[in-house]
Structure formats: C-alpha cells, structure tokens
Structure 1
Amino acid sequence: MPLILCRRFKQPQLIQVVLLLSSPISTSSSWISAIKNASSPCKSVQIYTQMHRQFIPVDSFSVLYTLTACTHLHNLSLLRHLHAHILKLGFTSNVYIMSSLLNGYSNVCFDDACALFDEMPERTTVTWNTMITGFSRSGNVDTARSLFDEMPLRNIASWSSMIAAYFNCGRQRKGLRLLHEMLIYEKLKPDQFTLCAILGVCGRMGTIGSILGKSIHGFITRNEWELNVEIGTALVDMYAKCGFLKAASVVFDMMRDTNVISWTALICGAAQHGYVNEARTMFERMQNVGVKPNEFTFTGILNACVHGGLVEEGRGYFEMIEECGLKPKIYHYCCMVDLFGKAGKLEDAYEVIMRMPPKANMNVWGSFLYSCKVHDNFKMAERVIDGVIEMLRPEKDGGVYNLIADLFVMGEKWDDAERMRRLMVNQNVRKARGSSFIR
C-alpha cells in the first residue's frame, strides 16, 4: 500500500482498509456484484457509500445498480444526492444512468423528472416511455399523447403505455382507436401489459366492455398464451365485473397458479352482482386452501352481506379482519354502517361510527342518514346532522344537501328545511347525476 494512502487514515481506519482490500470484495467488479446482489436496497446504498470511503474507483455499473436500488426506496433527498454525484463524476452522457435516474424521479417527484428529461442530451425509447407513463399517472393524458406523437421511435411498450393511459382515465374510445391503429397500421401485437390494462376497465363499460373483454380472451386463446397469474386474474376480474360469474370461475379453474388477488376478484364480482351464497362459498374455499384474505377480500365479502342482509354473518367477517392480522379501513366501516342501516339497526350503525378510529367521511355519514330516512327515524339523524352540515362541500356533496333537507321535512323542521334549500341555492349546489348511498 502506498505510504501516501496510509497517512490518510488513523490506525483503526487503516486496519479496516487493509482488511477490506484483502477480502473477497476487494476488486471493483466485486464491489459492483455486492451492490447488485445486496439483500436490500438500503444495503446496496451502504455498500456504495463504503466503496467511496475506501477510495474504490466508481464506474457506470456501480452507479447504475445503486440508482436501481434507490428507486425502490422512494427517497427524493437520496436521489438528488446521487444526481449531484453523477454530475460530479461526469456520467450525464451515460443514457442508461440518466434513464434510471429519470425513472427514480418519476416515482417520487415528477417535476424533477420533467426538468431532467428537458436537460438530457440523449433520449431513448425507454426515457420517452417513462415520461408518458408519468404524465398519465398524474392525470395529464393530453401531454402524454403529445410526447407519444413526438417520439422518433416507438416500441410496443410505448403503444401499451399510451393505450393504458386512455383506458385508465376513462377515455375508452380514444384508447380503442389507438389500439386499432397499432393493430392495423403498425402491425404490432398487444402485449400482456396492454391487454391487462384494457381488461381492467371492461367491467365499467357495460355491454361494449363485455364484448371487448370476450374478444381479448379469444385473442389470448388463439395465440396460445399461458393463463399466468396476471392475465388470468385480469380475465377473471373482467368476467366477474361484467356479471359472467360462470365464465370467471371457468377461467379461474384453468389457471395454473392463483393468488389472493384472483380469489378476491371472484368474491368481489359475485358480491357486486348479488351472488351472496357464491361469494361466501368462494371465501370459505379460499381459506380452506390456505390463501390468506386481504383488505379488499373483506370488502367484497362484507358487500355480499350487505346485499343479502346477513347482519350476524357480517359481524363475524368484520371481526375476522383483525384475526387475520389486518386493521379495518374506512371502507370496511362503511360496509358495516350500510349493513346495520339497511337492517334498521340504526343504533348499531351509530355505534360503529362513534367507535371507528378513522374519521368518518361523507360516504359513511351519507349512508347513515339515508338509512335514517328509509326507516323514518329523524331522531337518530338529528344526532349527527349539525356536524355533517359543517363538513359539507358544495362541489361534491350535493346529494347529502338534498338528503338533509328531506330529513328536516320528515321531522317537520320546516325552518331548517328552508334554510338548507336557501343554502343550496346560495352555494350553487347541484346533486350529481345518479348519486346514491345504496350499495
């Protein structure tokens, strides 16, 4: 070891360096391998930091693997620190490093991603795709489309990202037109990502959605795609949401591997369409084969109980949430308020609201007040009306304004009813079309 290097360290530090240089990870390639194969992202960053402290030369691979690890940590300060380090090391011309940094920023701070994208001296299809996905995720689909149109070269991932963006934001017609263009003019076959994104919204498109979903299933069959967990679950979810529970069950049984998401898709689909017994049977089957339900599974089975008016069964499922190591969420409490309210057990519904740890939202209050109206019980509604009025938002809660006014009329509180009507006019309140608290 050169003397000049030895003088940089005190005795304990010198011993540490000697031990490290004589260890199996003494070469640069060994350090890179250690970063790449670290047991956790935090460990990768620690090794990279140690590498610098020991004056091991840093190359593009060590930076790239560290960046990849940092992306999983969602730590903006750390990403900015590494960005500064990349500038100092002169790696800004390395398109792979800059693409990885862009991907990290897009998941944490999209404004930083936009600034980096504008500064990048070289862009690849991957970087363009990252920005399209980022703009889509932030709800700016038009900007995503502008980038898509500007791209010098598109691959299947580019088309898939843009098509998925249209479908995820409810602009199905534009998504279908782009899919048609990809198939007919570009002669590209959709990949699993594209089809899963489309199948995910077919259940919300009515008859057209069911026809499209069946066509996608036909495409999968003709091309002999394996029904893996991802594509199989997407098909199960599509058929279940469209009300074709038998078809969903057939696909489910054909899947080689299933998981809790597959089971949950079946249970929620059955509950949504009022197949209460089927939902409960599937829930029991899932438990019998050792699959642990998640939060969404319990939402599905509780909704089934609401549809069937199964109060005691619903109590049991609700208690099971904590038995499975989970904490009830706001939507679980909302299901219980619906369940008790529909059965006329308004005291029980009120008790759930008072005891729930998360603050009740307007869905919970609206459901409770609607049950009070249905069961002609103004006294129960009167307990909470003043507090609910303070929480009302004119732009979103028009249905609740109307509901409270109707409750005042039912309780013969004419002055209060008139006050609510005037409030609605003054605040320009409009009830959303199709608004309802019935689940």
Structure 2
Amino acid sequence: MTILGIQESVVAPLVRALSPEELSREYGREQLAERFARAAWSTFAEPGDRDAGHLLNVLGAEASVRALTASSIDDVAPILHALADADDHELTHDDAVDAVKRWRSRVEVPAVLRSLRQAARFGARLLVPDDPEWPTGLDDLGEHRPAALWVRGDSRMLGQLERSIAIVGARAATGYGEHVTIEAASGLADRGLTIVSGAAYGIDGIAHRAALASSGATVAFLAGGVDRFYPAGHEALLTRIVERGAVVSEVPCGTAPTRWRFLQRNRLIAAASRATVVVEAGWRSGSLNTANHAATLGRPIGAVPGPVTSAASVGCHRLLRDLTAVCVTTPDEMAELVPTVADSSPSPSTDAAPPPVGIDPTGTRVRLLDALSERSGRSVERIVALSGLAADRVRAELGLLELEGIVQERPSGWLRKAAKDLAR
C-alpha cells in the first residue's frame, strides 16, 4: 500500500514520530495520508497561498495533492474535475493554470520526506487543523490558513491561546521601548496571559525574555524552519522558549526565512493571539503589517504612545490615527483588550484597513527579490523554484524590474543590484 506514491512503511513511522504518542497509535491509513499530504503542501506552496488553501478546504489534503500531481501546466483538468462536485469552489480555469505553474516546480516528495526526518531529528511536532493543540484563532484566516504547523516545545500551549496577547515592535528599540515592553510582558504574564511574538531583535525578543523571567508562557512564530533558529543571535533565547514554551513555523524544516515569509508570519501572530499591542514602530515597520492583519481579522489593537519627536513611535501614532487603535500605557489597559473566553470570536472586519505603505499587497516583488542574489546569477527556472511564482510572472516582473534598474541580467543569470549601486 502506498501514500502519495511512497510506501506506507516509509511514511507511517515518520508521521507517527511527529504526532502525539497517545493518538499516533490509533492513526489508520487515512489519517497518516492526510497528515503527510499537509506536510507536503507546506513544501509545495508559499505561506498564505489562497488557491492552495481553497483546494485544501474543498478537497482535503490527500485528494488535493493527488489532483495536483495528476495535473500539468498544459492540462489542469484533473484539478478542475476534482472540484466539479463541490458546491462552493471558485477556482477558475485561469486560476488553476496560474496555481499549477507556481506549485509544479516544487512538487518533490523526497523533499517532504527530508523535512519530516529533519523535524524528527529536532524533536519537532507536526500539527494539523484537527489536532486538539491546533490554535483555533488561525481558522479565522480562512483560505489563508496554514496547511500545517511545525512546533518545537510544548505544543499543548498552542491549544491554550484563548488567553494570549501579541507584543510586537521595532527591532531598533529605544530605552523607552525596552522599559515599556518589560513592564508590559511581565505584567501580562503575571495575569496569566500567554505572550506571543516573533523572536526578532528589539521589542519581540524583550517581550519573550520578560515573559520567561516572570515564569509566564510564551510562543514564538518564526519565518523559517524550526530547525534553524533565526536570528542566530537569539538561539539561546529560542532554546529557552523551546524548554518552557513553544516555537512555531508554518514552513518545514530546512526552509530559510525571507522577507515575504516574515510578512506572512505576521498574520499568524495576529490570528493566533486574541489582541495585538505595538510598543514601538517606525513609519514602515513590519509591526504595522502585524497590526493590519489583526485589524482585518477584527482583533483588538493597542498602541503605546511615545514622544512625538521619536522616529521609533511614528508607527504607533499612525495606528492611533489611522487604524483606531486603543491607546494603552499599562499592563492593565493591555489586558482589557483581550476578550474573555466566554466571548464569541470576533468576525473578520468588512472594512479592513489597507496594507501599510511600503508593503507590496500581492507579494510578487517581495518574493521575486527574495529569490535573487546580489552575487551569483540565477536562472529563471531557479527563481521560479525559490519564489513559488509562475515562470511567465517571473519573466514579466524581471523585465519591469530591469527597466527600473533594480535587477540586471548577466550571462550567469539574473542578479539583484546592491543597495549601494541603486543609490547612484
């Protein structure tokens, strides 16, 4: 018997090793195949891929992988045929063609097996939406919900995020921001709230440390695989979070963090938490991206005011003005943002704020530039595999970027121009 073309005797031990021991013994062929297929989708599609989420919701993981592997760039009939009996599918022929172009270059089952083996080597867990530890707040992302989560640490903590709050902010934190973050995270942890953040330098890292110092619970969402801690300077911190909390990612082990994946990681921070507080943020800070996701999901947002002369507080003041964030200055005020467990989950906002200035809403350019190097030329085929974009989209965007002087083509392939060259 095979699972997606791989012998069950190969797949079953790997999937069971990443599952709760008390449940894995009960998994039959259907459960094993579904978990393996979700791990595969986390490899095939970039985070937040709406079309992949749509297929998963309508067909299920195993059936959607089968439809994808049976399809080709020239023939998407298997996918459309699989969707034919669904009442609510919205994937058009053109959508399917574009999606298959994005995914086919990544359909490599051996790569999925490698990621499973690497996860087992690091003692990670694979969570899927039906698991009791699955953070239910992520379900509010709809078709943008991750296919699976890779977790190191206490995965049970993810099932207890009904009382959680995200604390995010600038990497280049000021002394003022550091002080406010320590007081906030420790005070909220003392009130029994789980502190959620992204483990970055600055406000994120300080929030995690303060929660740990107060013997509180904390969860860190990464933009890369949980086997390669990033930033490297926070390896000791992330190791402590694994011991006393949880480190989570939606991309498999071996995946490098990129700017696009950081932006998509922010949606998980916003969705998994019941509220988000921004302590410090510049005009185009990634923290504004997290706040924007929270606003779209209808989650409460708090912003800490700062000196009007401080560039590190401009983003917070912008949230107070443009996103109607709540002004918060103490742990008590921040805790008031978190709805009680008895409250119903807020429905997604129908009047969502636009993406912050400077963020490409489609993500095409971000993903393309992430896939380019300043030193070694890369072929279109290599860029397609790294970016997860369709080949024709890559060629078209490369042409536009070349006209703008951002990239250049050499005999060795396409290069991204260095920042010092762009400034000339």
- Normalising by structure 1, we get a TM-score of 0.23
Higher strand share: 2
Rg comparison, structure with higher value: 1
The structure with the greater share of residues assigned to helix is 1
Question: Could you tell me the TM-score, scaled by structure 2's length?
Answer: 0.24
With CA pairs under 8 Å and 6+ residues apart, which has the higher RCO, 1 or 2?
2
